[in-house]
């Protein structure tokens, strides 16, 4: 109770409340892509950005999974802006219990814009991002299995907007392939 006899709320306790899947309000805001709520809750308790749910997903991970680019970027910058964030802390944020990374999920769900942001922001961690998940799949495997990532034979007959969207997805594939090649030190033509 406060001095007026009203019940006071502990903000951190409210923000840290979990549902049956161990999602906090910040997890749910990240899923919805509600940047305003992510900002308020993240400012209220930045440690929530690294809180894992029952599937090992953090709010940062869920924003990428659901293609919420603005929420992903805001949470990413808030989290990496915290002093003394170790590589283990970052790895906890970008990987779930199945060993999927945020790049796996962005590619699998067709969120090319988020995948590009991940590559630009986390390029220094690309080697960790390109590892295989528990199913033996890397982000490159997922991209290769996505027919819409490759040029279609009927593309010339499509509208300008469809062509533009198509080329954005295709560029993600080329960018991932280029970065993986650069990391391995091999020539692009040596990749099988």
Tell me the pLDDT band of 143, cut-offs 50, 70 and 90.
Answer: confident
**pLDDT tens-digit profile of 130-141?**
889 999 999 988
**Domain extents for the chain?**
1-97
Amino acid 96: pLDDT: 94
For 1-97, the fitting CATH number among 3.30.479.10, 3.40.718.10, 1.25.40.20, 3.40.50.150 is: 1.25.40.20
pLDDT above 60: residue 7: no
High-pLDDT (> 90) share of the chain, %: 42
What 140-147 contacts at long range (C-beta under 8 Å, 24+ apart), as own/partner pairs, is 140/176, 140/177, 140/180, 142/104, 142/107, 142/108, 143/107, 143/172, 143/173, 143/176, 144/173, 146/107, 146/108, 146/110
Question: What pLDDT is stored for residue 133 in this prediction?
Answer: 92
Report pLDDT digits (tens) over 92-115. Answer: 788 899 999 999 999 999 898 999
Q: Measured between alpha carbons, how far is 179 from 174 in angstroms, rounded to an integer?
A: 9
């Amino acid at each position: 109770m406060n001095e007026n006899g009203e019940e006071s709320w502990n903000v951190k306790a409210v923000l840290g409340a979990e549902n049956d899947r161990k999602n906090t309000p910040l997890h749910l805001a990240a899923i919805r892509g509600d940047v305003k709520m992510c900002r308020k809750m993240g400012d209220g308790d930045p440690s929530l950005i690294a809180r894992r749910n029952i599937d090992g997903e953090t709010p940062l991970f869920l924003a990428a999974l659901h293609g919420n680019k603005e929420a992903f970027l805001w949470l990413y910058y808030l989290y990496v802006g915290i002093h003394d964030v170790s590589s283990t802390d970052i790895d906890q944020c970008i990987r779930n219990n199945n060993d999927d990374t945020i790049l796996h999920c962005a590619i699998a769900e067709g969120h090319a814009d988020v995948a590009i942001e991940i590559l630009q922001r986390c390029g220094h961690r690309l080697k960790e991002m390109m590892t295989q998940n528990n199913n033996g799949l890397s982000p490159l495997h997922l991209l290769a299995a996505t027919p819409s990532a490759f040029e279609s034979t009927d593309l010339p007959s499509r509208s300008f907007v469809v062509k533009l969207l198509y080329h954005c997805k295709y560029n993600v594939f080329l960018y991932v392939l280029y970065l993986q090649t650069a990391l391995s030190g091999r020539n692009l033509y040596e990749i099988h």
